[in-house]
Amino acid sequence: MEKHCAEIPCRQTVHFRRVGFLVYPDCQSLDLTGPFETFHWADLMLSVLRRPPTYRSLVIAKAVGPIRTMSGLEIVASHSYEEMVERLDTLVVVGGTGCEAAANESAMVDWVRSIAPRTRRIVSICTGAFVLAAAGLLDRRRATTHWTYADHLAKAYPSIEVDASRIFIRDGNVYTSGGITAGIDLALTLVEEDLGRELMLGVARALLVFPRRPGGQSQFRGHTSIVEKPLRADVSELQTWMLAHPEADLSVPALADRMAMSERSFSRLFRNETGQTPAEFAERARADAARAKLEHMNSSIETIATECGFGNAERMRRTFQRLFDASPADYRARFRSTLDA
């Protein structure tokens, strides 16, 4: 007797989105585990909703086995890229101090280049962008990486439009992200693309992170990272003085007079030595002095603006918004030292 289809239990076919994480020695463990856990929690949310899982995450390296990360934590690669036969939906290249060696590993770069046309999304976390750049996947694209490596990426690959201020950037089907925890921000966006905003918000709440982190990488730049050290000692000494006296007259005429030079000659020398105009450096010096005060002092924003040479709070606010994508009040709320709380 022929059985009706209704009498036969039918198992629904689950189509996974395979997410491949490419790792290498001295990679950053959080570049892997942050996004990895984000996709895992998305599947947990789906199970609560009685929906089938979406993601299957793979850890890919040159060979199957343990990989020592830059912190000493060992992770285990489940797949070798040399033997990969499974099709990937998303390729995620992690970052870390081993990125330069990885970008010079011809077999790895060739594999990334070859798999890219068959992969829906190409992603880099932090300095993983250097591997994508070596594979030619960032040519003539906008991209970002950890802010401390942004200048190096721009100089090594002039065809890339590097924007160090962004937490992450999408250009076509290529996604790049800033330093370390920015990988979680980007992974949440990928989850939202795949599964919708409501589920993404549930994952963000579970992980206790911002669904959209306010501000960009610029607000994290350290006080001493303004410029590379000039070759001339007198220019370096002038910079040191400017950093120590943000409230002083830092106009070109005043600085040129201090250097006993004409304004034109001084401006040209300063830019050649530092890569910035005197006005740009002065603004950064004042902004960094204000950041230090906002982090560690109880003074009002108006007082800090005056002490740091801005003249008034509104001018400081506009500068902070442009440089750090945050107002002075927001910056203080995010970075206020717990020692002074």
Which residues form the catalytic set? 126
| Phi/psi at 34 (5° precision) | -60, -60
200 φ/ψ sector (left φ>0, alpha ψ -120 to 50, else beta): alpha
How far apart CA 2 and CA 16 sit, in angstroms, is 33
Spatial contact of 247 and 209, defined as CB atoms under 8 Å apart: no
Pairing outcome for strands 65-68 and 74-77 = antiparallel
**Which residues touch 113 (CB under 8 Å, ≥6 apart)?**
135, 136, 137
Question: What is the C-alpha to C-alpha distance for residues 51 and 45, in angstroms, rounded to an integer?
Answer: 9
Q: What share of the chain is helix, strand, coil (3-state, %, to 5)?
A: 50, 15, 35
Tokens of 204: 């963000």
In whole angstroms, how far apart are CA 341 and each of 293, 332, 333? 14, 12, 11
- Measured from the Cβ of residue 295, the count of other Cβ atoms closer than 10 Å reads 16
Report yes or no: 283 and 319 within 8 Å, Cβ to Cβ. yes
